[in-house]
Chains A and B, each alone.
Chain A
Amino acid sequence: DAKTTQPNSMESNEEEPVHLPCNHSTISGTDYIHWYRQLPSQGPEYVIHGLTSNVNNRMASLAIAEDRKSSTLILHRATLRDAAVYYCMANSNSGYALNFGKGTSLLVTP
């Protein structure tokens, strides 16, 4: 699994876009980049994943650098409900342990 580095915390205003960065410089060619988030008092939930191309889904967008050494999770319009810890991971899709690390705690203010 590639080591990932994320800021400890970020803050955003409600209805503003949020860009959550992640560095994964040791990523290998077959490693997926994936993001989960954990809302307060809940289990983690899947947000998005990608391999090489940028990805969009109903929750977020994932922008992957051309060299794949970094990526950015984009929440297009943050809501109060998006306040959570966001975990970036880069590892093969083996279904084995997800290495959550410390993640980025996102605070959304009205």
Chain B
Amino acid sequence: EPEVTQTPSHQVTQMGQEVILRCVPISNHLYFYWYRQILGQKVEFLVSFYNNEISEKSEIFDDQFSVERPDGSNFTLKIRSTKLEDSAMYFCASSPEVNQPQHFGDGTRLSIL
């Protein structure tokens, strides 16, 4: 069964450094998403992306965050200058259409020191 893959599984970064999290969505899906889950808290929506544009973003997704689809298969989340509070699990998801089921990857655990 097709799946969403994310790399790396764990990323350790110094505070203030830039980090890029990578995702390969399911190949025939058109909508892509990033969510995060701080330890012990609920999964929170960050951003959705369709047709090379952000379609929706949350208040968490501030100017430090950006997303990109650099080629036909990858979808990336960049955090420009990481803060301690950015430590979380980051999940990528994709769906074939809006309001269709979203399928998640296994996440990247981001640890900011």
Q: Do A and B interact? A: no
Chain A contacts to B: CB under 8 angstroms: none
Which residues of B line the A interface, CB within 8 A? none
